[in-house]
Amino acid sequence: MAEKLFLEVVTPQKAVVSEEVEIVVAPGSEGEFGALKGHTTFLTSLKMGTLRYKDVNGKERLLFINGGFAEVLPDKVTILAESAERRKDIDVTRAREAKERAEKRLADKAADLDFIRAEAALRRAIDRIKIAGTK
Ligand code: ATP
């Protein structure tokens, strides 16, 4: 069995994950990276996307994370994210509504449209729907 490392995922609101895991794969801003026990220490910012890890039973778990930072130590990975939701906690109806709102804003092209903001909201919603639907 693989050696374990400790994973903590924290948002400004709460601790989302705090458990031993076998491997963590995270969306670093310089590209996706994986961390196993004994990994070299490093610090990186994160993109919005999917954080994956294998729990102690070898089961793959998925989380949506909305950017942040990761600190990787040989025996611990700490993720500080703007927001993070476990797959089972994603409210798909809410994400679909957010997607529709963002799509409408982008299609309407109002004079005061904040394109970057609407596009980011759309990408968050699409990612949440995708993660929630992953088996
Ligand atoms: P919305 O427009 O529905 O608020 P958003 O993408 O603007 O979506 P965020 O700013 O990313 O929302 O998140 C605000 C808070 O709401 C965070 O705590 C986040 O975890 C939670 N959240 C947002 N969307 C969902 C969802 N679909 N399911 C569960 N939690 C969500």
Residue 84 CA: nearest ligand 1 atom is 20
Rounded-to-integer distance, Cα 64 and Cα 39, Å: 23
Rounded-to-integer distance, Cα 70 and Cα 54, Å: 17
Q: Is 86 in the pocket of ligand 1 (CB under 6 A)?
A: no
CATH number for the domain harbouring residue 75: 2.60.15.10
Range of the domain at 109: 92-132
Is there a single domain that holds both residue 70 and residue 116? no
Ligand 1: residue whose CA is nearest its atom 5: 121
> H or E stretch including 65?
strand 60-73
Is there a single domain that holds both residue 32 and residue 66? yes
Is there a single domain that holds both residue 82 and residue 97? no
Ligand 1: residue whose CA is nearest its atom 24: 95
Q: What integer best gives the mean pLDDT of the chain? A: 95
CA of 44 to the centre of ligand 1 (A): 23
pLDDT score at 135: 66
pLDDT score at 75: 96
Listed as ranges, residues in the chain with pLDDT below 70 are 1, 135
pLDDT score at 109: 86
Is there a single domain that holds both residue 77 and residue 24? yes
Place of tokens 């909305």: 66
CA of 106 to the centre of ligand 1 (A): 19
Ligand 1: residue whose CA is nearest its atom 20: 83
Among 53, 54, 31, 57, smallest CA distance to 44 is for 31
Is there a single domain that holds both residue 83 and residue 104? no
> H or E stretch including 123?
helix 115-133
> What are the beta bridge partners of residue 54?
23, 60
Count up the domains in the chain and report the number: 2
Instruction: Summarize pLDDT for 26-51 with one digit per residue, the tens.
Output: 999 999 999 999 999 999 999 999 99
Is there a single domain that holds both residue 72 and residue 97? no
Q: Is 13 in the pocket of ligand 1 (CB under 6 A)?
A: yes
